[in-house]
């Protein structure tokens, strides 16, 4: 049984933001528990032909990298991302040949790297990447709020897909910290 904790009700701003993001991140792995490879890669939404649970895990992994490494820290993309000049805008979702366990491990590792990256930073620090040069840099506070929304939205998609794939819904266990 997976146990998930919300951040303390009276925690400070940073602990609330990182706590809620970590909570949503934990739901990603929870939604994948017990899936077969076939079900993890099954596409059940005709209007979204790339969307499977596996492709959403990959999408979330690359969103972590994009927001915290590429945008916030200004780390250049030296070809490690799935995106290429003139390539498909959703290239990160082409993962039919990648095992779910590998995708989850890569996601977990990227989330850990994100947490390590932001740990010493003030919430008012702004992006150093491509948007900074355009005068549209977001603060770390904004990025954390966005990543909570992004992750929660896709966990909701995973919940729907999981129900369509095998009928499983909800959380295994949700407890207060």
Residue 54 domain-assigned (yes or no): yes
- Which pLDDT tens digit goes with each residue over 47-77? 999 999 999 999 999 999 999 999 999 999 8
Please say whether the dihedral angle defined by the alpha carbons of residues 85, 49, 41 and 162, taken in this order, is positive or negative: positive
Handedness of CA 87, 92, 93, 98 (dihedral sign): positive
| Residue 16 domain flag | yes
Would residue 162 count as lying in a domain? yes
Q: Cβ(72)–Cβ(115) under 8 Å?
A: no
Q: What is the CATH number of the domain that holds 104?
A: 1.20.120.450
In a domain, 81, yes or no: no
The number of helix segments (H) and strand segments (E) in the chain equals: 6, 2
83 falls within a domain: no
Q: Which domain holds residue 39?
A: 4-75+92-175
DSSP state of 139: B
Task: Let me know if residue 127 belongs to a domain.
Answer: yes
Q: pLDDT digits over 7-48, tens only?
A: 999 999 999 999 999 999 999 999 999 999 999 999 999 999
Neighbours of 173 (CB within 10 A): 10
User: How far is the CA of 41 from the CAs of 38, 95, 133, 169, in angstroms?
Assistant: 5, 8, 38, 18
CB 25, CB 154: distance < 8 Å: no
What residues pair up with 174 in beta bridges, in sequence order?
Answer: 4
Say if 85 falls within a structural domain. no
Residue 82 lies in a domain: no
pTM (predicted TM-score): 0.92
Q: How many domains does the chain have?
A: 1
């Amino acid at each position: 049984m997976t146990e998930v904790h919300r951040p303390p009700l009276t925690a400070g701003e940073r602990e609330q933001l990182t706590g809620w993001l970590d909570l949503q991140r934990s739901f990603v792995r929870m939604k994948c528990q017990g899936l077969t490879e076939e079900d993890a890669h099954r596409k059940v939404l005709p209007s979204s032909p790339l969307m499977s649970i596996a492709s959403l895990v990959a999408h979330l992994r690359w969103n972590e990298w994009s927001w915290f490494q590429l945008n916030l820290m200004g780390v250049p993309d030296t070809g490690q991302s799935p995106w290429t000049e003139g390539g498909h805008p959703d290239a990160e979702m082409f993962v039919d040949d990648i095992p779910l366990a590998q995708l989850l491990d890569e996601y977990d590792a990227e989330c850990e790297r994100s947490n390590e990256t932001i740990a010493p930073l003030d919430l008012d620090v702004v992006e150093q990447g491509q948007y900074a040069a355009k005068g549209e840099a977001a603060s770390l506070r904004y990025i954390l709020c966005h990543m909570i929304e992004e992750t929660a939205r896709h966990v909701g998609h995973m919940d729907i897909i999981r129900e369509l794939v095998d009928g499983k819904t909800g959380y295994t266990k949700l407890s207060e910290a």
